[in-house]
């Protein structure tokens, strides 16, 4: 019988065990730190690997990530010879689409202003512009970014995306690629959504240079990783009114420390890394299909390209 070792500081081991055993009744699931005999572990399903425990599992075949982003798994903690598979799951995509569409609509319809006005008892009407006049720019048109782009386009927004590899426009969604087209993309992004993987090329991309290239009063939505954002530059841009608002789901340090200026900033919305949570039932289906592929000697779906970093 093969064994999978589960380790996460925040995901429910009981729900994952039940979901994995329903998919693969012949798989034994062990939950860290009860690893059993190290040589019997075939697969690991982890959020992070804060120590070198994976190096002590001599017959480990595949490392599955509980998250879509694997920036924190590309260091020495995960042995380089092992395939790393990231989470790609329709329920994860659905959750991100809900989050991004909700936050875009919230700003498009001036909800932060109306909420403030209600607190102050003020009756002020703001313009209702048509979605076609609101330009949304999505950094990263991967599994999540492209689904968000399609949903916003279906609502009538003027949507563009920025990617690494040039490609044709997609169903009415303009595509900008590479460094050379980044400025033009930013210049037409009234609402900038970050759904990039965190790599050496994207770390700190949300900085003062980027903010200076956005239209005045733009809104930022960062649902990717805290490492994309230079926090001090954001506070400056908000202070100067260059940016009108920032919605932040991810942070340099999580949980966001008490007393951090974002907590009480009137133009910052904070959510605790919940834009989309991995669902054990659908997530276990993805892990099971990876295990079946490995057993059959087939290519692993959603394997991470370590060179590229995502």
> What residues make contact with ligand OXD under the rule CB under 6 A?
67-69, 87, 278
CB of 197 to ligand OXD, least distance (A): 9
Determine the residue with CB nearest ligand NDP. 142
81 catalytic per annotation: no
Out of 30, 135, 225, 285, pick the active-site residue.
Answer: 225
Nearest distance in Å: CB 270, ligand NDP: 12
Nearest residue to the partner ligand OXD, using Cβ = 67
191 neighbors 218 (Cβ within 8 angstroms): yes
Q: Which of 308, 304, 307 is nearest to 70 (CA)?
A: 304
225 as an active site residue: the answer is yes
142 binds, among ligand OXD, ligand NDP, none (CB under 5 to 8 A by kind): ligand NDP
Question: Which residues contact ligand NDP by CB under 6 A?
Answer: 68-69, 92, 96, 140-145, 162-165, 195-199, 201-202, 223-225, 249-250, 273, 275-276, 310
Nearest distance, CB of residue 170 and ligand NDP, angstroms: 11
Minimum CB separation of residue 171 from ligand OXD in Å reads 25
Hey, which residues are catalytic here? 225, 273
């Amino acid at each position: 019988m093969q064994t999978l070792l589960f380790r996460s500081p925040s995901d429910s081991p009981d729900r994952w065990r039940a979901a994995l055993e329903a998919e693969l009744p012949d798989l034994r699931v062990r939950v860290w730190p009860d690893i059993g005999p190290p040589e019997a572990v075939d697969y690991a399903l982890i959020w992070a690997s804060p120590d070198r425990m994976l190096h002590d599992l001599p017959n480990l075949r595949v490392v599955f990530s509980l998250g879509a982003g694997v920036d924190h798994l590309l260091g020495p903690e995960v042995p380089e010879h092992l395939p790393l598979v990231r989470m790609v799951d329709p329920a994860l995509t659905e959750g991100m689409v809900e989050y991004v569409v909700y936050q875009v609509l919230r700003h498009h319809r001036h909800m932060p202003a109306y909420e403030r006005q209600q607190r102050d008892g003020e009756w002020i009407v703001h313009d209702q512009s048509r979605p076609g006049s609101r330009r949304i720019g999505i950094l990263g048109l991967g599994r999540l970014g492209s689904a968000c782009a399609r949903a916003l386009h279906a609502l009538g927004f003027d949507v563009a995306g920025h990617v690494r590899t040039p490609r044709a426009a997609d169903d009415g969604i303009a595509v900008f690629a590479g460094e050379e087209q980044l400025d033009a993309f930013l210049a037409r992004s009234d609402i900038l959504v970050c759904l990039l993987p965190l790599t050496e090329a994207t770390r700190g991309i949300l900085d003062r240079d980027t903010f200076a290239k956005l239209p005045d009063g733009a809104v930022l939505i960062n649902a990717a990783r805290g490492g994309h954002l230079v926090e001090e530059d954001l506070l400056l841009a908000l202070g100067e009114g260059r940016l009108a608002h920032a919605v932040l789901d991810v942070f340099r340090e999580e949980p966001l420390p008490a007393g951090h200026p974002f907590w009480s900033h009137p133009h910052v919305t904070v959510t605790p890394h919940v834009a989309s949570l991995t669902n054990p039932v659908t997530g276990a289906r993805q892990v099971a299909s990876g295990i079946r592929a490995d057993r059959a000697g087939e290519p692993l779906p959603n394997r991470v390209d370590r060179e590229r970093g995502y």
